[in-house]
Amino acid sequence: MIEIRRLDGADLQAQLDALAGVLADCVAGGASVSFMAPFPHEQARTVFEGWAAEVDAGGRVILGAFDGEQLLGTVQIVLALPPNQPHRGEIAKLLVHRSARRRGIAQLLMEHAEAEARAEGKTLLVLDAVTDGDAARLYARMGWTTVGVVPKFALYPDGRPCDTTYFFKEL
């Protein structure tokens, strides 16, 4: 039984190690999510501390997926965008621990993220994902529209280049 919760400042402090654990596990598993290997736990924790500060400032939403008290996955909505894009949000860092994959957790996180974005007054969401990767399949299945592919947009943690596909969804 998976529960999705929006994490406020106190929740984020309490879950920092668990969130960092999920991020570090994804990078260790080869996910192209901004960071290069090796990516130690402490570094992942520092990154989440920065995002938590943005949540406190109202510019970002972080959701957690829980099995009981154990956090297994997370996703973010970037709310703070330029003044001429108040209706738009960005989905970022959809991450599920390798031990918890293929149970529908990412899909549940995305359903809740879209609902949260709508509740925040957003009518358009944009995201990017590794081309033809597990996440890209999920987004296509959930009705996101493919914009196009940017070749060699980023790197995998081991340094290999990685194509990226941009998607959008009108809410």
Per rule CB under 6 A, is residue 12 in the interface with ligand COA? no
Per rule CB under 6 A, is residue 44 in the interface with ligand COA? no
CA distance 19 to 17: 5
Q: Tokens 């994959």 map to which residue?
A: 101
Of the candidate spans 4-12, 26-34, 48-56, 142-150, the one that interacts with ligand COA by CB under 6 A turns out to be 26-34
Per rule CB under 6 A, is residue 102 in the interface with ligand COA? yes
Per rule CB under 6 A, is residue 143 in the interface with ligand COA? no
Task: Single out the residue of 113, 122, 126, 129 nearest to residue 65, CA to CA.
Answer: 113
Among 24, 44, 55, 106, binds ligand COA (CB under 6 A): 106
Per rule CB under 6 A, is residue 105 in the interface with ligand COA? yes
Per rule CB under 6 A, is residue 71 in the interface with ligand COA? no
User: Cβ 84 to ligand COA, closest distance in Å?
Assistant: 25
What mask of x and - would describe binding to ligand COA in positions 119 to 138, judged by CB under 6 A?
----------x----xx-xx
Residue among 3 and 56 whose Cβ is closer to ligand COA? 3
Backbone φ and ψ of 105, nearest 5°: -70, -40
**Each residue of 113-132: b (16+ CB within 10 Å) or e?**
bbebbeeeebeebbbbbbbe
User: Cβ 83 to ligand COA, closest distance in Å?
Assistant: 26
Among 12, 19, 26, 52, binds ligand COA (CB under 6 A): 26
Q: Which two tokens stand for residue 50?
A: 């920065």
What's the maximum distance between 2 C-alpha atoms anywhere in the chain?
Answer: 41
CA distance 141 to 163: 20
- The SS3 assignment for 57 reads coil
Q: Tokens 């654990």 map to which residue?
A: 21
Contacts with ligand COA, residue ranges (CB under 6 A):
26, 31, 33, 94-96, 101-107, 129, 134-135, 137-138
